Amino acid sequence: MRTMLRSTALVDAWFDMLPPEQQDLTHVLRDAVMACAPGLTMSVKWGNLVFSNEGTHVVAIVTHRDSAHLQVFNGNTLTAQFPELEGHGKGLRYLRFRYRYPIDEELVREVVQASLGISAPP
């Protein structure tokens, strides 16, 4: 089984590889996620910054040309509580944040905490 690459240098390199206009927003998103759940582990997987809790993926920061998404791995279970979540399919949902616009840190905190409540082992 493959293991996630968790080195701090790799996470730092992920940020360094982003275009300058994407770096500010992704740093703010990372800080917002880690502020509400400091026990999460950051790793680079699938070219994205993934936050995990005891081996279970919780959220990921995925960059696109005009926005960054905070992907919620169990987002389909949270859509009734958070209508802001976009997407469709089996499980993934996301919050979209446009570059150069402020993010709703309270919404990020609430979504991450709700996701942890569902994905946390019993």
pLDDT tens profile 10-31? 888 999 999 999 999 999 999 9
Please tell me the pTM assigned to this model.
0.88
Tens digits of residue pLDDT in 105-118: 999 999 999 999 85
Nearest of 83, 64, 61 to residue 72 by alpha carbon: 61
pLDDT for the residue numbered 121: 42
Label residue 119 by pLDDT band (50, 70, 90): very low
Where do the domains of the chain lie? 26-119
Q: Which fold has domain 26-119?
A: Aspartate Aminotransferase, domain 1 (3.90.1150)
- CA 114 to mean position of chain CA atoms: 13
Instruction: Give residue-wise pLDDT tens across range 72-99.
Output: 999 999 999 999 999 988 899 999 999 9
